[in-house]
């Protein structure tokens, strides 16, 4: 049994194996020979809202010839007071893989400890989102043919965004040059930065001013308003910290803009059709990457 809970649990060899498998899955989607159907059941358990993660896991399961079942947190017995541990124990008797999203940090690790089948972390609070990072790394490789040495700017709410935490780890593992750019109140945790520096010794620069002149990949995330206690402060930061067309025009011509989505107004409203914008293509690669994840945790 193999869980996927955190990027911290993976070696570079593990990540490269996932990415190679994703490439095979993408090729299978374009060919007339889809993967051999798996006689498995994948259960998605989402206790927070989701569009891309939930539906791409569902699509990945269907593309693999698995059956998918779904548990929505607001319609589960958790509303009656059932513990997450009990819910996971029950669901692991119904399915071969559990895909869990939960608002509490550490929930996926707890689920893996009590489940009798593999657990995939689809986001636990502001902690980790490993499959999103695999999609991000795969997208960068498909767009840029490499990761090492690229100048990657992580811009937005670095304090709360789990996708940013996981991606910092993944980029450091592959030797990217990283710029962390956020409002001062939303900077990446010092503890997280120290951890990747001690493990990988990456090039990391921290700033609160958006400057894209040396940027190969701009990775943007929204202000995570749902994780703020003060919604007025969240709205203020969301209004103040936006990327402008002028800032993007100063970047290299082959700039690639990625975003885990959903996006609100952190990018110019009419930028979706710009050749720099790659985030919808990035989202589409979620299916082959998550096919690879399901395949590997099922032991294929």
Q: Which amino acids are annotated catalytic?
A: 52-53, 80, 101, 129
How many whole angstroms separate alpha carbon 143 and alpha carbon 85? 41
Structure tokens at 79: 């509303």
Q: What is the DSSP letter of 186?
A: G
DSSP for 44-63, written as a single string: EEESS--SHHHHHHHHHHHH
Position of tokens 């990775």? 219
Q: What is the DSSP letter of 69?
A: E
Q: What is the DSSP letter of 34?
A: P
Q: Which helix (H) or strand (E) holds 82?
A: none
How many whole angstroms separate alpha carbon 274 and alpha carbon 264? 17
Q: Pinpoint the alpha helices (H) of 105-214.
A: 107-114, 130-144, 162-173, 190-200
How many whole angstroms separate alpha carbon 173 and alpha carbon 214? 21
**Alpha carbon distances (Å) from 28 to 23, 36, 181, 233:** 9, 10, 38, 47
DSSP for 189-243, written as a single string: PHHHHHHHHHHH--EEEEESS---TT-SEEEE----GGG-S-HHHHHHHHHH---
Question: By CB neighbour count within 10 A (0-12 exposed, 13-18 middle, 19+ buried), where does 254 fall?
Answer: exposed
Structure tokens at 249: 């025009």
């Amino acid at each position: 049994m193999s869980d996927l809970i955190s990027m911290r649990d993976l070696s570079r060899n593990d990540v490269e194996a996932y990415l190679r498998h994703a490439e095979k899955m993408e090729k299978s989607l374009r060919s007339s020979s889809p993967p051999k159907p798996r006689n498995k059941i994948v259960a998605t358990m989402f206790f927070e809202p989701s569009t891309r993660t939930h539906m791409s896991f569902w699509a990945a399961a269907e593309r693999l010839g698995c059956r998918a079942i779904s548990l929505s947190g607001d319609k589960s017995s958790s509303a009656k007071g059932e513990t997450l541990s009990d819910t996971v124990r029950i669901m692991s008797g119904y399915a071969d893989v559990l895909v869990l999203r939960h608002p509490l940090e550490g929930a996926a690790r707890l689920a893996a400890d009590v489940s009798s089948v593999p657990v995939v972390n689809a986001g636990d609070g502001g902690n980790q989102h490993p499959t999103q990072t695999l999609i991000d790394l795969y997208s960068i490789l498909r767009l840029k043919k490499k990761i090492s040495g690229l100048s990657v700017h992580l811009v937005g709410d670095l304090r709360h965004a789990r996708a940013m935490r996981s991606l910092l780890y993944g980029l450091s593992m592959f030797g990217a040059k990283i710029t962390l750019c956020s409002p001062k109140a939303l900077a990446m945790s010092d503890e997280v930065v120290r951890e990747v520096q001690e493990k990988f010794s990456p090039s990391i620069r921290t700033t609160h001013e958006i400057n894209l002149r040396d940027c190969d990949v701009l990775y943007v995330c929204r202000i995570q308003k749902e994780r703020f206690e003060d919604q007025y402060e969240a709205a203020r930061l969301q209004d103040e910290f936006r990327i402008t067309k002028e800032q993007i025009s100063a970047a290299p011509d082959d700039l690639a803009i990625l975003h885990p989505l959903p996006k609100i107004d952190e990018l110019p409203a009419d930028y979706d059709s710009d050749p720099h914008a790659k985030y919808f293509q990035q989202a589409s690669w979620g299916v082959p990457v998550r096919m690879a994840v399901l395949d590997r945790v099922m032991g294929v």
